A and B are shown apart, each in its own frame.
Chain A
Amino acid sequence: MTALGARNPTVKLLLVVAVSLATLALLEPAALAALYLLGLMSARWGAGVGGRRLLLAQVPFWTFGVGVLLVNAMSRPGAVLVAGGPFRVTHEGLVVGAALALRGCVIGVATVAFLASTPPRDLMVSLVRHARLSPRYAYALLAGHRMLAGLPRQWATIRAAQLVRAPLGRDGRPREGWRGLARSAFALLVASIRASERVALALESRGLAAGPRTIWRPVPLGAGDAALASGVLGALALVVLMGARL
């Protein structure tokens, strides 16, 4: 198990929230870049996310970041650095844009590290025990998560079943427009609603209620989690302070 994987999910979730809030207080690209670097390191070595996977997980945040950076750099008033035609890039715009872009990346990498190191079952067990989440919601979410994992396969089955009667296009392959997709989506919806009714009944017939319950294999909360929390919060405070000095 990875270092972060062994830590309590509720603590990790709260730390992700704390990091996200802290980034809101920061507008210094250097401080945010430092946080981002720390985040990447904890995802790579703390949560054990492989290099390639980690890189791929950053793509959406980078894409978002580039957009934010460009919009800010070219639309904010301030000292003009570069001008060409209708476009001009300002110093203030570049700084604010970079900060906002990095903010997204920090929150993104913290979430990646959290999700990669936290099995859904542990998260729900911990939230029920340590955050007083109602077991009815927690286990309904877990059952829903299990059903969700089966949806792509079911979608493929339904699409194949429906394409049999579709007219052929010029290339000899079945051709169906958005109507066909809508029909398949409806079939999937019907199947999912039926399945969720049965799952809900199965949960209830196994005694899931709002009342008190025990937990067979609880998720521990201990000194390691306190150390993690103080470490992360300390690093955050340091970065925020340094950001204020810059």
Chain B
Amino acid sequence: MSLWRAVPEPAAHPGADLAADPAADPAAEPAAVLDVAGLEAVLDGGAGVGPVDLRLAPGEQVLVLGPSGAGKSTLLRCLHGAVPHAVPARVSGRVAVAGRSVAEHGVAALADVVGVLAQDPETGVCLADVADEVAFPLENLGTPPAAIGPAVAAALGAAGAGHLAGRRTDALSGGELQRVALAAAVVTRPRLLLLDEPTSMLDADGVAAVRGALAAARASTGAACVLVEHRLDALAGDAGVAGLPGRWLVLSADGRVTHDGPAAEVARDAGPELLARGCWLPEDVELAVALGGAAGEPGAFDLLPALAAGAPPSRDPAAGRGEVLLAARGLAVGRRPAGRAARRRPAAQPVLRDVDLRLRAGEVVAVVGANGSGKSTLVATLAGVLPPLAGVVEGARPGLVVQNPEHQLAGRTVAAEVAVGLPPGPATDDGVTAALARFGLAALADRDPHRLSGGEQRRLSLAAMLVHDRPVLLADEPTFGLDRHGTADVLRALADSARAGRAVLLTCHDLRAVASVADRVLVVADGGLVADVDPLALLRDPRLLAAARLRPSRLLRRLAEVVGDAARLRDALAALDARALRATGAPDPAGAPDPAGVPVR
């Protein structure tokens, strides 16, 4: 099923006759909802996008693809005037929405025809009450109050958030917030919907909920839609290419349009290049690129058994039998409510209790569980930055990288950031230089760390932690929000750390990342640790998967059927990554293992 196609099929290529809107008079050619001609935008920092030409018929859906930094979000912001009206930039060319010139109208003056859903759920919702939030755009348009109530209820219903009416927005999860923001974006029944990576900051549950909500909301409004998304594998789900908009527009790294056409065609032509550039593609496209065949054909998954059987062993099977470096006994973890008054209250409720765990030298342990199940709290307690509510943590002081690398930034330059917390001296200088080189940051040494990309910031936070040389490394969602290359870099750094004799523990929502790096998986649910298994056993246990709210993709399910043990699963995934990279002509970074640590990037 694809509700992305519940609207007229896209034009074969730009400039061709636009697909007819079945609702319109068949004799009249429908006017374009979006008309972009010769658009070029250069932001103050020098980044930019264009030239772009794009016409969208009523109800037409287009997916904008491109590597990190290609200007996808900038393009989207040009379409509703945020660039240049709110974000300064030099813009040339013409953008018109529903016949209105964006350059002459501000962002607010287009609010009746454009709905926007941004990436960050926390800042996409502005008011304290869910219903007020959804009513807000209608109030701004001067809608008669009597008509607002029913419209709010309808929009919340269409976004799968009807049950949230009357709730306070500060008590909602990311997925719930994003559905409320979606309701606020469609409540005005806009003719154009702009979706900027709407699921990239959500867990599997949130992605699934928002995916359904997007489909229903588009179907109910019939709006044309421009979608920017890099976690296409997650957004497409099991439907693969068919679960995405039917028209794809590909931007190159320098912001030019390289492809524009039907999804299957563009996936075939641009797939290898996109994969090489680090884009997350739907699994059927990835398999087609890596193993040959056409995207969308179910046969691609039948090639997996052969791949798994032929994959070379990638890691020493004796790993994970080292000495215990960190142990927790009878641990109860939880956050005390903030504020002085709260401290006088009796002890905080633990979110996890009776946790016993041991981390051994040389192993990588993943912690999985639903949002809010206490994974981050557990990691913070193990790291010693949060006192345990009960029990003890024994072992040397661990290192920790937190989910948002910006929270850890403390230096003015990249080099200074790595040196934070170390005594000044030549030994530190040498260590910093080596760490920068190892993580591919040497060229950025004098840059402001706040101005780096997400992937660069993540590598920086790992470099800055590993230079402290602590025996245990803890990482909270280290792959969150990264592109394919960024994820691969992080996983390789973690595996190298373990190989160098550390114990590594990470929390992770991404089952593929868990399966390709972890020796053991701890499952957190119902206020405690419910399982300590290897990744393959987790994939094969529907009860555990449900408890952790995890949904393995088709690729992982198929591999779990055909491999004999967890090491084979990891080898098969490594082989798939290597094949994908080879098919794209990129050098294979995992090709030459080095006991001292493979240079990352």
- Chain A residues lying within 8 Å of B402, measured Cβ to Cβ, are 157, 160-161, 164
Measured between alpha carbons, how far is A160 from B377 in the docked complex, in Å? 11
**B142 CB-CB contact with A under 8 Å:** yes
Choose from A146, A203, A216 the contact partner of B138 (Cβ within 8 Å). A216
- B538 contacts the other chain (Cβ, under 8 Å)? no
> Who on chain A is nearest to B133 by CB?
A206
Are A168 and B397 neighbours in the complex by a CB distance under 8 Å? yes
Give the chain B neighbours of A143 by CB distance below 8 A. Answer: 126-127
Segment from A23-31, A34-42, A95-103, A191-199 that makes contact with B: A191-199
Question: Contacts A146-B170, A216-B148; is A157 near B126 (CB within 8 Å)?
Answer: no
Q: List A residues 204-246 near B (Cβ within 8 Å).
A: 204-209, 211-218
Give the distance to chain B from A134, nearest Cβ to Cβ, in Å: 13
B450 within 8 A of A: yes
Nearest A residue (CB) for B85: A204
Q: Which residues of chain B have C-beta atoms less than 8 A from A164's C-beta? A: 383, 385, 399-400, 402, 408, 465
Q: List CB contacts (< 8 Å) of B246-305 with chain A.
A: none
Contact with B along A146-175 (1 / 0, CB 8 A): 100110110011101111111110000010
B82 engages A205 (CB within 8 Å) = yes
Contact across chains for B385 and A216 when beta carbons are under 8 A apart: no
- Interface membership of A120, Cβ < 8 A: yes
Q: Provide the B109-129 mask, 1 if CB < 8 A to any CB of A, else 0.
A: 101101010101011111111
Would A216 and B135 count as touching, CB distance under 8 A? yes
- Chain B neighbourhood of A121, CB < 8 A: 127-129, 132
A198 in contact with B120 given A156-B338, A187-B406, A203-B126 (CB within 8 Å): yes
A residues in contact with B112, CB < 8 Å: 207
> Is residue A133 within 8 Å, beta carbon to beta carbon, of the partner chain?
no
A200 touches B86 (CB 8 A): yes
B478: shortest Cβ distance to chain A, in Å? 13
Closest to A156 in B: B338
Contact with A along B123-149 (1 / 0, CB 8 A): 111111100100111111111110011
Within 8 A of B (CB), among A59-88: none
Determine chain A's interface SS by DSSP, over half rule. helix
The reply to whether B108 and A207 contact each other, CB–CB distance below 8 Å, is yes
Is the CB–CB distance between A214 and B139 below 8 Å? yes
Bound Cα distance A209, B478 (Å): 40
The answer to whether A195 and B139 have CB atoms under 8 Å apart is no
CA distance A149 to B188 in the complex (A): 29
Instruction: State the CA gap A199–B120 with chains docked (Å).
Output: 10
Instruction: Annotate B59-91 by CB proximity to A: 1 below 8 A, 0 otherwise.
Output: 000000000000000000000101000100000
Residue among A153, A187, A206, A207 with most chain B CB within 10 A? A206
Q: Any chain A CB within 8 A of the CB of B317? A: no
Q: State how many angstroms separate the Cβ of A195 from the closest Cβ of chain B.
A: 5
Given the interface pairs A164-B400, A187-B407, A212-B142, the reply to whether A142 lies near B127 with Cβ below 8 Å is yes
Of the candidates B82, B145, B400, the one whose C-beta lies within 8 Å of that of A201 is B82
Q: Which chain B residues (177-192) contact chain A, with CB distance < 8 Å?
A: 181, 184, 188
In the complex, chain B residues whose CB is within 8 Å of the CB of A211: 142
The residues of A that contact B127 with a CB separation of less than 8 Å are 121, 139, 142-143, 146
Q: A202's contact among B123, B149, B380, B407, by CB below 8 Å, is which?
A: B123
Task: Give complex CA distance A167, B428 in Å.
Answer: 14
The answer to whether B464 has its CB under 8 Å from any CB of chain A is: yes
The minimal Cβ–Cβ distance linking A183 to chain B, given in whole angstroms, is 4
Give the distance to chain A from B250, nearest Cβ to Cβ, in Å. Answer: 26
Cα A149 to Cα B123 in complex, Å, equals 13
CA distance A135 to B138 in the complex (A): 14
Q: Is B421 an interface residue (CB 8 A)?
A: yes
Inter-chain CA distance A160–B381, complex, in Å, is 10
Inter-chain CA distance A191–B112, complex, in Å, is 30
B410 an interface residue at 8 Å Cβ cutoff? yes
Q: How far is the CA of A27 from the CA of B170 in the complex (A)?
A: 45
Q: In the assembled complex, which residues on chain B have CB atoms less than 8 Å from the CB atom of A209? A: 106, 108-109, 140
A18 interfacial by beta-carbon distance below 8 Å: no
A86, chain B: closest CB distance, angstroms: 37
Give the complex CA separation of A157 and B188 in angstroms: 37
Does B15 have its Cβ within 8 Å of any Cβ on chain A?
A: no
Closest B-chain residue to A149, C-beta based? B170
CB distance from A173 to the nearest CB of B (A): 8
By a CB distance below 8 angstroms, the chain A residues around B450 are 190
Residue of B nearest to A173 (CB): B384
The interface residues of chain B lying within 8 Å CB-to-CB of A205 are: 80, 82, 107-108, 111, 114, 116
Cross-interface CB contact of B108 among A152, A158, A180, A204, cutoff 8 Å: A204
B contact residues around A204 at 8 Å (CB): 82, 86, 106-108, 111
Given A150-B170, A190-B450: A195 in contact with B123 (beta carbons within 8 A): yes
Docked CA distance A233–B385 (Å): 55
| CB <8 Å contact, A187 and B126 | no
- In the complex, chain B residues whose CB is within 8 Å of the CB of A139: 126-127, 136
Contacts of B380 in A (CB 8 A): 160
A42 to B415, CA, bound (A): 60
B339 contacts chain A at the CB level, 8 A cutoff: yes
List of 10 A-B pairs having minimum Cβ-Cβ separation, nearest first:
A207-B111, A165-B421, A207-B140, A198-B123, A160-B385, A209-B108, A206-B137, A143-B126, A161-B407, A152-B338
